Amino acid sequence: MILLIFSSMSIYLFWILFLTLWAIVPLMIIKGRVDEEPNIQTSPKVKAKKKGWFN
C-alpha cells in the first residue's frame, strides 16, 4: 500500500516538474531574444563642430 502511494506521488511529481519545464523554457527563450537587442559601440561618436560667430 505504501509503495503504491509513493509510486503515484512520484508520477504526479514527474508530471508537475515536466509541465513547469515546458512552461519556463519558452519564457527564457523569449527573454533571451529581448536581451540581445542592445548594440555595443566600439568607437566613440565624433561630434561635428558647430560654426558660430567666433570660430
Write the CB contacts of 52 (distance below 8 Å, at least 6 apart in sequence).
Answer: none
Cα dihedral value 51, 53, 54, 55, nearest 10: 20
Q: If you average pLDDT over residues 11-18, what whole number do you get?
A: 90
pLDDT(49) > 90 = no
pLDDT at residue 22, rounded to an integer = 92
What gap in Å lies between CA 19 and CA 17, rounded to an integer?
6
What residue segments make up the domains of the chain, in order of their start? 1-35
pLDDT in tens, 20-41: 999 998 888 888 776 556 677 7
